[in-house]
A and B are shown apart, each in its own frame.
Chain A
């Protein structure tokens, strides 16, 4: 029982335990550094990369809801990203909506697209979903390329306005975009944490662990799978809407299959099912091609290698926890178990044996 709940037995477990123990200190320090970062006066190039990292972290968090929590792999998140970006951009350009309204609309619409796609396909097993989403992403690109009157075809959308807040433009030079990215990222992260610690999150994890058992436990699996898909798509749409405003120009080539692969790589590298892993994964994989300019053309080879090697040597990702229990207990139950393990006088053998047996 004790071995089950604590006592790290090797170096990586010790690191995990250390990270977990000081998670508030580390998180607070990280947040503080991010908040005061613009004061150091870095160039716009660096700030732009930081914002890109934030965007990809959001995308990875979105995919993480689907892949990390519910255990289904989507290879078409670039499609949702594109829908979000185009919706946001078109609403701002053609209807002159405010950025935040457009962003909200992009999020909702992308979620609806997720619902439309998820409804027919999610009753099937995971591998089919991967292929269907991959096909979906290509269909989205084809629609973008050929629906000239709305999407302007292969020429793309130009001069997408920057966000404005109470009459002030948020740009790279006044760090408005940077702080906006931070706020959105924080919002998405908090949502993810809240979701995973709720009843919904536990249902997701149960589906990931064993769908059949989950449905036997009375979880309406199809409904939760679709919910997970919709949430995941909506977060990608949010990231897309923000991206359009940051870059100011989008076309069909911004949302290729390579982007989907990059998002998957981030999730795998960081650690499926963790929030902090997404930050690390996005930072590493976005910074890598910028640092290693001579190896620019090799970067997708590296992304592929990341996938293969991680699956081989550390399938739980850099910051992922290898759960020793079938699924992480809610805190209350965990504390109760620990208390019970400490005072051994109670005759609770049946319960304890049940848990150990499930390991």
Chain B
């Protein structure tokens, strides 16, 4: 039983990690919690379901939705965040702006597609495998594998490419990076694209797993992913992965022992606990306030 829940948790947690990475990337560069990320995730799932519904085939539909969602992330930055950065608004202004964007997106999805839960086509439904006493479905295995590969790709982009070097440069010191000839705005745009695209993939994977999607689906997952990002140390990529896995496992264990009614609240309890005990998270650097 324990082993079974562990497996379920790991599969789900890996998908949470994909969403958490989006928070982490944006937070690293802008020092901003991007509240619209949950809604972006929901948009990704909706776009994929919509395109699959138009008989695009699975792969083209998913690719197109990933691209669209990435562009949506860019659009959000261009319309609601960049003007504020240009005016040097206080951080709270950007935060409120992303909350506004999140509300707009979620409700536009509701108006366009209806607020009821709709069934998402099952992905990779090849049956179950038995490992010892536990059963794991192919859907879960493939969800885990795809997330792992994508996180590897993201990590490669950030740590081993030229643009990743620029991203890390902007993260450490935006002004110095721009003096070195890095276009800060382009880096931010690129980061939002990466965040949006990974959220869309996570959206497709999680919707395929539960076989259901609805406009407010991003709310809970967004909160859990944020908890994961904070748990791992916000701003650190591998932290987001570990945080996602821990949250996923904690959630499925809680569902067994505390009853499914409270499974969603576990993430917040962890979040509050982390904030009290170790606000910088597992892998986060301790922020030093410079005077």
Q: Which residues of B contact A297 (CB under 8 A)?
A: 107, 110-111
Q: CB distance B96 to A73 under 8 Å?
A: yes
CA gap between A130 and B94 in the complex, in Å: 13
CA of A261 to CA of B94 in the docked complex: distance in angstroms?
A: 15
Residue of B96, B104, B268 most packed against chain A (CB within 10 A): B96
Chain B contacts for A145, CB-based, 8 A:
261
A315 interface contact, C-beta 8 A: yes
* B22, chain A: closest CB distance, angstroms: 15
Docked-complex contact B99 and A312, CB < 8 angstroms:
no
Q: Which residues of A contact B102 (CB under 8 A)?
A: 304
Q: Are B100 and A306 in contact (CB under 8 A)?
A: yes
B275 touches A307 (CB 8 A): no
Bound together, the chains give a CA A71 to CA B94 distance in angstroms of: 14
Q: Which residues of chain B are within 8 angstroms of A303 by Cβ–Cβ distance?
A: 100, 103
A: number of interface residues (CB 8 Å):
38
CB nearest neighbor in B for A307 = B100
Number of interface residues of B (CB under 8 A): 47
- B124 on the interface (CB 8 Å rule)? no
Q: When the two chains form their complex, are residues B110 and A261 in contact, meaning their CB atoms are under 8 A apart? A: no
Chain A residues, CB < 8 A from B10: none
Do B100 and A300 touch (CB < 8 A)?
Answer: no
Q: A128-B275, A132-B275, A304-B104 are in contact. Are A311 and B97 (CB under 8 A)?
A: yes
Which B-chain residue is minimally distant from A129 (CB atoms)? B275
Which one of B84-92, B168-176, B199-207 is at the interface? B84-92
Q: A297-B111, A301-B108, A311-B96 are in contact. Are A138 and B261 (CB under 8 A)?
A: no
CB distance from B263 to the nearest CB of A (A): 9
**From DSSP, what is the main secondary structure of chain B's interface residues?**
helix
Q: Are A301's CB and B103's CB within 8 A?
A: yes
CA distance A33 to B267 in the complex (A): 49
Q: Are A121 and B275 within 8 A (Cβ)?
A: yes
Question: With a CB–CB cut-off of 8 A, which chain A residues contact B96?
Answer: 73, 264, 268, 307, 311
Which of A130, A135, A305, A315 counts the most chain B CB atoms within 10 A?
A: A135
Within 77-128 of B, Cβ neighbours of A (below 8 Å) are at 79-80, 83-84, 89, 91-97, 99-108, 110-111
Known interface pairs A142-B261, A311-B93; A121-B272 also in contact (CB < 8 Å) = yes
Q: List 29 A-B contacts (CB under 8 A).
A: A73-B96, A120-B272, A120-B275, A120-B276, A124-B275, A126-B95, A127-B33, A127-B91, A127-B95, A130-B95, A132-B271, A136-B268, A139-B265, A142-B265, A146-B261, A212-B289, A212-B291, A261-B99, A264-B96, A297-B107, A300-B103, A301-B103, A306-B100, A307-B103, A311-B89, A311-B97, A311-B100, A312-B83, A315-B93
Q: Which residues of A contact B (CB under 8 A)?
A: 71, 73, 75, 120-121, 124, 126-128, 130-132, 134-136, 138-139, 142, 145-146, 212, 257, 261, 264, 268, 297-298, 300-301, 303-308, 311-312, 315
Given A126-B91, A212-B289, list of 9 further CB < 8 A pairs? Answer: A138-B220, A138-B265, A261-B103, A264-B96, A297-B110, A303-B100, A307-B96, A311-B84, A311-B89
* 7 nearest A-B residue pairs (beta carbon): A307-B100, A304-B103, A135-B268, A304-B104, A308-B100, A300-B107, A120-B276
